[in-house]
Amino acid sequence: MSDPLIIAGREFRSRLFLGTAGYPNRKIMLDSVTASGTEMVTAAIRRISLAGDDESLIDVLGERVRFLPNTAGCQTAKDAVLTAELAREALDTNWIKLEVIGDRELLYPDVEELVRATQMLVAKGFVVLPYCTEDPVTCRKLADAGAAAVMPMGSPIGSGLGISNPHLIELVCARSPVPVVLDAGIGTASDAALAMELGCVAVLINTAISKARDPVLMASSMRAAVEAGRLSRLAGRIAKRSHAEPSSPQFGLVGT
């Protein structure tokens, strides 16, 4: 079945995006990328060696996947825009995962600065994918500001709590005029499958894979979960009932 994901005119076969931080070593990270089948990975621009004095993430991943730099660590729209411009100049890409954090402990987005940064970056020709709260109003404002997709959190970054409010994620998906990619909070494969069943077009995962006991095996698990969740969404689940309904006919039973 042909079911490509399209964001800003770019087509992806895989609906699983990967972060690259926190792996035990680079080999395990590379093996996990391969096992996941992903076509796009993300990393903070400050983690990428641009000096040419050692092998950077771009050197080892550039031929395998598309690279999505992010503005992790930025707390103002101004800083995020400057970071994105640095990434575009250094990496020759106008795609950016936009993060503007309002609380360093909670790692919650600053919505006001996030919308402002989105507007500024879109005006500068960037394809913006903002990390945001699971709020339909915020997601709509970001889409109105020109975001190519929105990336609401399932739960706090790195928490592994899964999707804390499935109803809100489903609302965001139902009402968003742009693709919805679940970002943050995934803990295990069933969380990824649920995100897809709720209507997300893709899932971005980092910690659940990089900190797993076997990251490569978990990457394979997440790949299967995202594919299964997408197929389940397309197939359509049965309606929930408050009572049993037999799947076999009731006529012709012994004694009747």
Q: Is 122 exposed, middle or buried (0-12, 13-18, 19+ CB in 10 A)?
A: middle
- Considering 97, 124, 141, 240, which one is annotated as catalytic? 97
What is the H or E stretch that residue 144 is in? helix 136-144
State whether residue 209 is helix, strand or coil.
helix
Q: Are 27 and 223 contacting, i.e. CB atoms less than 8 angstroms apart?
A: no
- Pairwise CA distance, residues 188 & 186, whole Å: 6
Question: CA nearest 48: which of 72, 27, 64?
Answer: 72
240 belongs to the catalytic site: no
Structure tokens at 155: 């739960």
Q: Is 89 exposed, middle or buried (0-12, 13-18, 19+ CB in 10 A)?
A: exposed
Q: Is 199 exposed, middle or buried (0-12, 13-18, 19+ CB in 10 A)?
A: middle
DSSP string, 57-115: HHHHHTTTSEEEEE-TT--SHHHHHHHHHHHHHHH---EEEE--EEETTTTEE-HHHHH
Spacing of C-alpha 152 from chain mean position: 8
Active site residues: 97
